[in-house]
Amino acid sequence: MDATGPSTTQPGARRSPPLASAGAMMLAAALLMANPFFGASSTSWPWEVLARARSPLLVANWLVWLGAGLLAVVLGLRGRDTGRGTVLAALALLLGFTCHSKLAGLRIEENSLAVNAGISLLMAGFLLQAWGLGDRAARVLSALGGLLVVWTLACAFDYPSGAPPRSQLVVKVHDLVSRLVGGDVLMDLPNYDEHLASAAALLLASALGMLALLGVRGRLSGSLGVVMLVATFAIRPVCTFSRVVAAEGFDAVTFARHVSEVLVTMGMAWCVFMSVVIVDLAQDRRDASGGAA
Partner 1 sequence: MTRLELEPLPPRPPPPPAAAPAPDGEGSPWAWRAGCAAAGVLTLGVLFSSFNPTFGFFLKDRGFDAQRWPWLLFQDTNGGARLDWMPQQAYVLSLLLAGLCLLACSVMTRSLLRAALCVTSLVLVTAVVMPSSDEYMLLAAAQAGLALLAGGVLADGRGLEGTGARRAAGVGCMLLALFLVLPYPDDKQLALDNPLVDQPYESPLSVTFSDLARTVRGEMQAAVPGGGMRDVHLGDWAGAHLLDLPVLLALLLGVLALLGRGGRWAGPALLVLLLVGTLGPCVMRALQEAAAYRSGMPDAEETVADLVAVHGRNATQAYLLGLRAACLPMALSVAELLRRR
Which candidate, 119, 142, 120, places its Cα nearest to that of 129? 142
Segment interacting with partner 1, rule: CB under 8 A, options 125-133, 145-153, 200-208, 268-276: 145-153
Number of residues that bind partner 1 (CB under 8 A): 46
Q: Do residues 124 and 282 lie in contact, with contact meaning Cβ atoms separated by under 8 Å?
A: yes
Nearer to partner 1, 226 or 282 (CB): 282
38 binds partner 1 (CB under 8 A): no
Report the largest interatomic distance among the alpha carbons of the chain, rounded to a whole angstrom.
62
- Which residues, 6 or more positions from 181, have their beta carbon under 8 angstroms from its beta carbon? none
Distances (CA, A) of 56 to 106, 107, 201: 14, 15, 38
Nearer to partner 1, 145 or 237 (CB): 145
C-alpha to C-alpha distance for 53 and 62, rounded to whole angstroms:
10
Smallest distance, partner 1 to C-beta of residue 133, A: 15
Smallest distance, partner 1 to C-beta of residue 165, A: 5
Ranges within 227-246 binding partner 1 (CB under 8 A): none
Distances (CA, A) of 191 to 194, 198, 268: 6, 12, 21
**Counting beta carbons within 10 angstroms of the beta carbon of residue 4, is it exposed (0 to 12), middle (13 to 18) or buried (19 or more)?**
exposed
Which residue in 155, 177, 245, 253 binds partner 1 (CB under 8 A)? 155
Which residue in 70, 89, 173, 187 binds partner 1 (CB under 8 A)? 89
Looking at the chain, which runs of residues are DSSP E strands? Answer: 157-158, 166-167
Smallest distance, partner 1 to C-beta of residue 198, A: 20
Ranges within 91-120 binding partner 1 (CB under 8 A): 91, 93-94, 97-98, 100-103, 112-114
- Which residues, 6 or more positions from 52, have their beta carbon under 8 angstroms from its beta carbon? 44
Which residue in 140, 196, 226, 234 binds partner 1 (CB under 8 A)? 140
Smallest distance, partner 1 to C-beta of residue 211, A: 15
Which residue in 167, 178, 223, 254 binds partner 1 (CB under 8 A)? 167
C-alpha to C-alpha distance for 284 and 32, rounded to whole angstroms:
32
C-alpha to C-alpha distance for 201 and 233, rounded to whole angstroms:
9
Smallest distance, partner 1 to C-beta of residue 252, A: 30
Q: What residues make contact with partner 1 under the rule CB under 8 A?
A: 54-58, 60, 64, 83, 85-87, 89-91, 93-94, 97-98, 100-103, 112-114, 140, 144, 147-148, 151-152, 154-155, 157, 159, 164-165, 167, 170, 281, 284-285, 287-290
